[in-house]
Amino acid sequence: MTEIRGRVYLVGAGPGDPGLITLKGKECIEQADVVVYDYLAASELLGYAGKDAELIYVGKKGGDHTLAQDGINALLVEKASQGLVVTRLKGGDPFIFGRGGEEVEVLVEAGIAFEVVPGVTSAVAAPAYAGIPLTHRKFTSTVAFVTGHEDPHKESSNIDWQSLASGIGTLVFFMGVRNLEHITTQLMRHGMAANKPAALVGWGTTPRQRTVTGTLGTLTAIAAKAGMTPPALIVIGDVVGLRERMKWFERRPLLGKQIVVTRARKQASGFLKMLSNAGAECLECPTIEVVPPPSWDALDKAISRLSDYDWLIFTSVNGVSFFFERLFGSDRDSRALQHIHVAAIGPATAQRLMDFGIRCDIIPENYRAESVVAAFEGIPVSGKKILLPRAKDARSILPEALTRMGALVDDVTAYVTEIADHNVETMLTRLENGEIDCLTFTSSSTVRNFKLLLPPDKFDALVKKTRVACIGPITAETAESLGFGVDIVASEYTIPGLYAAMVDYFSAA
Which residues does the annotation mark as catalytic? 38, 60, 175
DSSP characters for 315-344? -SHHHHHHHHHHHHHTT--GGGGTT-EEEE
Direct distance between the N- and C-terminal alpha carbons of the chain, in angstroms, rounded to an integer: 70
Whether residue 231 contacts residue 257, with contact meaning beta carbons closer than 8 Å, is answered with no
> For residue 500, what are the CA distances in angstroms to 253, 264, 424, 439?
10, 20, 27, 15
Residue type, 202: G
CA angle 497, 499, 505 (to 5 degrees): 100
Please name every residue paired with 288 in a beta bridge, in sequence order, or none if there are none: 419
Whether residue 307 contacts residue 435, with contact meaning beta carbons closer than 8 Å, is answered with no
Burial of 25 (0-12, 13-18, 19+ CB in 10 A): buried
Distance CA 331, CA 353 (A): 19
Whether residue 456 contacts residue 475, with contact meaning beta carbons closer than 8 Å, is answered with no
Residue 85 sits at φ, ψ, to 5 deg, of -90, 120
Residue type, 358: I
